[in-house]
Amino acid sequence: MSFDVTSQSMRFEAPLPLRSGAQIRDYSLAYETYGQLNAERSNAVLVCHALNASHHVAGRYADQPKSEGWWDNMIGPGKSLDTNRFFVIGINNLGSCFGSTGPMHVNPDTGRIYGADFPVVTVEDWVDAQARLLDALGIDTLAAVMGGSLGGMQALSWTLQYPERVRHAAVIASAPNLNAENIAFNEVARRAIVTDPDFHGGHFYEHGVVPRRGLRIARMIGHITYLSDDVMNEKFGRQLRNGTAIHYSTQDVEFQIESYLRYQGDKFSEYFDANTYLLITRALDYFDPAGAYGGELRAALARATAKFLLVSFSTDWRFSPARSREIVKALLDNRRSVSYAEIDAPHGHDAFLLDDARYLGVVRAWFEGIAAELGGAA
Amino acid sequence: MSFDVTSQSMRFEAPLPLRSGAQIRDYSLAYETYGQLNAERSNAVLVCHALNASHHVAGRYADQPKSEGWWDNMIGPGKSLDTNRFFVIGINNLGSCFGSTGPMHVNPDTGRIYGADFPVVTVEDWVDAQARLLDALGIDTLAAVMGGSLGGMQALSWTLQYPERVRHAAVIASAPNLNAENIAFNEVARRAIVTDPDFHGGHFYEHGVVPRRGLRIARMIGHITYLSDDVMNEKFGRQLRNGTAIHYSTQDVEFQIESYLRYQGDKFSEYFDANTYLLITRALDYFDPAGAYGGELRAALARATAKFLLVSFSTDWRFSPARSREIVKALLDNRRSVSYAEIDAPHGHDAFLLDDARYLGVVRAWFEGIAAELGGAA
């Protein structure tokens, strides 16, 4: 059973300086909250989202029965992250197309839609913006910050940018940075979008078109990298769409996997903004806390004082367990408190969003520990 | 040192029936031969090509100093496949854009360029066409057939379609069929091409354009799958193109890997035919000798009587060693003679084209065995 939630929005007039040297002013952040902030204001948990997600993390909108949030299996009353005990905040990042100010909104400096002129935002910028939202909500310190994939990068970055404001951090199915292959897949997806004639240099809004072709290709590539080889073979294998008949066509669908990917691409291209796709994949590319430390992750993480939970999934080849172990090692080298679970799951990177008793159990136990630390307050 | 070679062509007027039910008539096959056919006509070795290759397997054209064939490191006088002992035939497949009849040629039935109307060709069709070329060259039996990747599939198919005409088969970096992930990558590449507005349903020749955008994306995707994660990290890692300065741009090149992929995509789009790309990836998708045997590879390979060499490469995630081992097992279950080498190489699928002393040594030893069987004849 899910629970009813409401989307909220907060406007920020003061300019937010960005890592690129640019700034953004007069922007809004969409967010949701679940549960009650306790009197000590000590039980807040911030949940950060990945590429194709939003502040709508859990629960559903009263008028939309099938609108469960993207981590609804994880978060809610009595769930692993228990909203009876914690005050959970979902936030939509700057540049997104799901409510916060993004490329499809009007640039207050020009009166025109941002489009490709929306400033490049980084994981660090998002964390800064999230910190301002917490300020506005009167929350000084987070009991925990949690995220998967790109959301895990934000959780990690929180512990480095605002170590004194984060007591615990859950970094799930994530990595300390993208490797060359990760960047390569992002780049192909971006090229598909940017070279779509309907992209118009990122100012397609003015032309009344959407670079659907490019978005479809981008999503198809993404989907392949989210799934494991094994789960693809199990779900689709070499199954033909039409029973046993091959049609000998280079352009029509022959295999179920093609049909599935085309469907995912089509669906995505109808709601996702092309400029947002570029921005978010670039934020992924740029994230590299060790970069300023000559590649020494240990040195980069020395600032972190939070207690960590790291979770990885055995068949995740996008952000493999080895990448999580890099973070674990760097934290342990700094004598930080780290719990690490490597979950044997067949679903690849997608596993972090799926039901898995061991995975949900690990997160539950971790939050129970945090609740115990909070004592009667949680 | 390479050696001089000449491209040849043979025309076939009789219609070739294809697996699709269609047929093709009045077509030409481009081919090259190296070495001398012995008096017994028993030392011929056919080399089959993969996606982006041709009949120009070894040697170079006298007037083009840098025109070495794609497997020149493997084949030539004194090399692993020694043209002093063997008569080597390289052949360009139907539907290719490198000399044999393909989509950019005129359909004799209509007088128009084939374009998307070029019939869908399968691995089995290619083998049939290759057999006709051998007939015309007066070669009844091959000492060996050899190929890597898609070329390996042709070598395998030879042993099933014409078991009595093949004494040995080398199947390198190949697979008994594509898995769902392989098909998925092919499909994304095809969608990029087909949805490029310059594709014009495959009849772009008449419009004087080429679907370059789609071809670029297809090649970029392909390249990622040819390389291993390790070799990408070693060659490119997170290296920026311009030293240490990030430019905070979603559309410009930031990382070396992006620059590399764009270059590969650009180059490819200037010479490769879009319809050929569709045809060849479909031939890959369709190949599945076990398909007619309820997925039982053992049953499918029962017909093969050749002696086999299988080679795989440890970091090849496109056609992983596990896929080669499936073939090895099915052959052994049929009590066939099989040598198998799993080469520990960092280069991913590309390894089958690269210099590796152990790999080249394995192939050399195998061909020395064949030469010994031929006795004085080779």
Q: For chain A, positions 139-158, list CB contacts with chain B under 8 A.
A: none
Q: Is A162 helix (H, G, I), strand (E, B) or coil?
A: coil
Whether B377 shows a pLDDT value over 90: the answer reads: no
Whether A376 shows a pLDDT value over 90: the answer reads: no
Distance of CA B192 to CAs A118, A254, B127, B160, Å?
27, 17, 29, 34
For residue range B35-52, what is the model confidence (pLDDT) as tens digits? Answer: 999 999 999 999 999 999
For residue range A25-80, what is the model confidence (pLDDT) as tens digits? Answer: 999 999 999 999 999 999 999 999 999 999 999 999 999 989 999 999 999 999 99
Q: For chain A, positions 2-31, list CB contacts with chain B under 8 A.
A: 19-22
Residues, chain B, total? 378
- Residue A75 CA from chain centroid, whole number: 15
Structure tokens at A69: 């949030």
For residue range B289-340, what is the model confidence (pLDDT) as tens digits? Answer: 999 999 999 999 999 999 999 999 999 999 999 999 999 999 999 999 999 9
Distance of CA A155 to CAs A92, A298, A366, B229, Å?
14, 17, 15, 26
For chain A, say whether B196 makes contact (Cβ under 8 Å). Answer: yes
Give residues with Cβ within 8 angstroms of B335, minimum separation 6.
none
Q: Does the annotation mark B149 as catalytic?
A: yes
Cα–Cα distance, A188 to A195 (Å, whole number): 10
Q: For chain A, positions 272-291, list CB contacts with chain B under 8 A.
A: 275, 278-279, 281-282, 285-286, 288, 291
B175-192: average pLDDT:
98
Predicted confidence at residue A2, as pLDDT, reads 80
Q: Are A251 and B194 a contacting pair at CB < 8 A?
A: yes
Q: Are B250 and A190 a contacting pair at CB < 8 A?
A: yes
For residue range A125-173, what is the model confidence (pLDDT) as tens digits? Answer: 999 999 999 999 999 999 999 999 999 999 999 999 999 999 999 999 9
Structure tokens at A51: 């590429």
For chain B, say whether A183 makes contact (Cβ under 8 Å). Answer: yes
For B131, list phi and psi in degrees, rounded to 5: -65, -35
For residue range A229-249, what is the model confidence (pLDDT) as tens digits? Answer: 999 999 999 999 988 789 999
- Counting residues of chain B whose pLDDT is more than 70, the rounded percentage is 99
Predicted confidence at residue B1, as pLDDT, reads 62
Catalytic residue among A96, A125, A316, A324: A316
Whether A377 shows a pLDDT value over 70: the answer reads: no
Sign of the CA dihedral A235, A239, A243, A248?
positive
B146-161: average pLDDT:
98
Cα–Cα distance, B294 to B222 (Å, whole number): 30
Whether B2 shows a pLDDT value over 90: the answer reads: no
For residue range B206-240, what is the model confidence (pLDDT) as tens digits? Answer: 999 999 999 999 999 999 999 999 999 999 999 99
Q: Are B195 and A185 a contacting pair at CB < 8 A?
A: no
Structure tokens at A243: 């029973």
Cα–Cα distance, B58 to A284 (Å, whole number): 43
Nearest to B255 among A183, A188, A224 (CB): A183
**Other Cβ atoms closer than 10 A to B266:** 14
A289: left (phi over 0), alpha (psi -120 to 50) or beta: alpha
Instruction: Quickly state the pLDDT bin for A378 (edges 50, 70, 90).
Output: very low
B353-377: average pLDDT:
93
Nearest to A184 among B248, B257, B275 (CB): B257
**Helix (H), strand (E) at residue A76:** strand A75-76
Whether B378 shows a pLDDT value over 90: the answer reads: no
For chain A, say whether B255 makes contact (Cβ under 8 Å). Answer: yes
- Checking ipTM against 0.90, whether it exceeds it is yes
Q: Are B291 and A238 a contacting pair at CB < 8 A?
A: yes
Amino acid letter for position A359:
Y
Q: Tell me: is residue A333 an annotated ligand-binding position.
A: no
Cα within 13 Å of Cα(A298), Cβ side: 6
Residues, chain A, total? 378
Q: Is B56 helix (H, G, I), strand (E, B) or coil?
A: coil
Which residues on chain A are in Cβ contact (under 8 Å) with B282?
Answer: 248-250
Cα within 13 Å of Cα(B45), Cβ side: 29
Q: Which residue of B has its CA nearest to A227?
A: B181
Structure tokens at B200: 């014009």
Cα–Cα distance, A171 to B42 (Å, whole number): 64
The structure tokens 């699709």 sit at B20
Q: Are B184 and A213 a contacting pair at CB < 8 A?
A: no
A201: left (phi over 0), alpha (psi -120 to 50) or beta: left
Which among A240, A248, A279 is the top mutation candidate for probing chain B, defined by the most B β-carbons within 10 Å of its own β-carbon?
Answer: A248
Which residues on chain B are in Cβ contact (under 8 Å) with A95?
Answer: none
Q: Is B166 helix (H, G, I), strand (E, B) or coil?
A: strand
